[in-house]
């Protein structure tokens, strides 16, 4: 399922990258990543509060399903966000030649 989800999101990213401006593209995909992360942590919170018994109930399976789906979604959106912000991340990790020469 994760591969299909990643492929669908990558296809959706390519389509949106062709149709909208880069600034709006970054806002949309970053907001989607934050929302997926929030929903993932909400599912984790409810699982933690309810505790886990030896035998799971149908409600517990529901929260585990949400955890699985939003965890997969957050992972795929995280990969897309790494691709979107690759230039900024590369500049952050690359040592600046000007600051190295000043020191």
* 10-53 pLDDT tens trace: 898 899 889 999 888 888 888 888 888 888 888 778 777 766 65
Residue 5, domain member (yes or no):
no
Residue 16, domain member (yes or no):
no
> Residue 18 burial by CB count (10 A; 0-12/13-18/19+): exposed, middle or buried?
exposed
State the DSSP H helix or E strand holding residue 1, giving kind and residue range, or none if neither. none
**What is the model's pTM?**
0.66
Give the structural domain span for 64: 23-93
Task: Kindly write down the DSSP assignment for every residue of 10-45, as one continuous string.
Answer: HHHHHHHHHHS-HHHHHHHHHHHHHHHHHHHHHHHH
Q: Rounded to whole angstroms, how far apart are CA atoms 2 and 74?
A: 11
Residue 14, domain member (yes or no):
no
The single residue listed with the structure tokens 């990969």 is 79
Residue 45, domain member (yes or no):
yes
> pLDDT tens digits for 49-76?
766 655 667 666 777 787 788 888 888 8
Residue 10, domain member (yes or no):
no
Residue 88, domain member (yes or no):
yes
């Amino acid at each position: 399922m994760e591969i299909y989800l990643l492929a669908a999101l990558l296809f959706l990213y390519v389509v949106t990258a062709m149709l909208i401006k880069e600034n709006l593209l970054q806002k949309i995909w970053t907001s989607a990543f934050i929302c997926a992360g929030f929903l993932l942590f909400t599912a984790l919170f409810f699982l933690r509060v309810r505790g886990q018994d030896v035998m799971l109930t149908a409600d517990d399976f529901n929260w585990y399903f949400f955890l699985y789906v939003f965890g997969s979604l957050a992972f795929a959106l995280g990969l897309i966000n790494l691709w979107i912000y690759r230039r900024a991340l590369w500049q952050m990790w690359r040592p600046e030649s000007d600051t190295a020469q000043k020191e």
